[in-house]
A = this chain, B = another copy of it.
Amino acid sequence: MTHSAPPAVPRFPVSVTVDLVIFTVRDDALHVLLVERGKEPFLGGSALPGGYVRPDEGLDEAALRELREETGLDGGRLHLEQLRSYGDPGRDPRGRVITVAYLALGPDLPAPVAGTDAARAFWAPVGEALRADSGLSFDHGAILADAVERARSKLEYTTVATSFCREPFTVSDLRHVYEVIWGIALDPSNFRRKVTRTAGFLEPTGERRTSETGRPAALYRFGGAAVMSPPLLRSGDIAGRGAGGGSGRG
């Protein structure tokens, strides 16, 4: 306070990375794509896929590139949004590293491609990934927890749940996404009424798919609408429920 001069060190060694939380619904649980780290620090530990932002690319661009590298998918029918940035000093032992976390949602994706770091990539149930706080490197446990929270709340009032379904899909496919991520059972009839009456949510294809058992279900495509209002549930507060078998976060 003795002098009002600006800080003497406006610039110092810092790196910027993007980290991806890639979600998909497999079987009856929400899964996240993790990589086994191939170098220090945390060699052999699990972490979110990610990498350094290059000098000539923007943040979204870098996230899209990493996504393509890890999953082989171009961000076509696949949701990608910025989640939040994390930059506590000491979050990376190598030095000051600010990371911009992205959230990606996609249908049951093909077998993960080996990352550019020659690290093994695999799908892990988020419940396990969160419970094994021992497992995730850096502050990726906290990032994952924030991502789960974001995904749960976005399902309430947007149509992103369709990003988890490969087109064409049935109403039951869509309902299954909600049930897995929220960890609750939804009434099939009421769910159908809600999503079919929400303008722009579902677009009928006219075809039907005959499953192994039961009456064949009509097939739909995503209708293009972004928001759903009023929200799907009247109750609102979905947060904190057990999805994917996780006991939740502290």
Residue numbers of A with Cβ under 8 A of B are 4-7, 9-16, 51-59, 82, 84-89, 96, 98, 100, 116-118, 157, 227, 229-231, 234-237
Contacts and interface: CB of A to CB of B under 8 A. Distances in A.
Given A55-B89, A56-B89, 6 more contacts: A6-B51, A6-B117, A9-B55, A59-B86, A85-B85, A227-B237
Contact of A14 (B4, B5, B16, B237): B16
A241 to B, nearest CB: 15
Given A227-B237, A229-B237, A52 B7 contact: yes
A230 B230 contact: yes
Contact of A59 (B4, B57, B98, B236): B98
A58 B96 contact: no
Contacts of A11: 13, 15, 52
Contacts of A89: 55-58
Closest 10 CB pairs of A and B: A229-B236, A59-B87, A10-B52, A58-B88, A85-B85, A12-B55, A85-B100, A11-B15, A16-B98, A6-B116
A118 B4 contact: yes
B16 A87 contact: yes
Nearest to A90: B58
A87 B100 contact: yes
Contacts of A5: 116
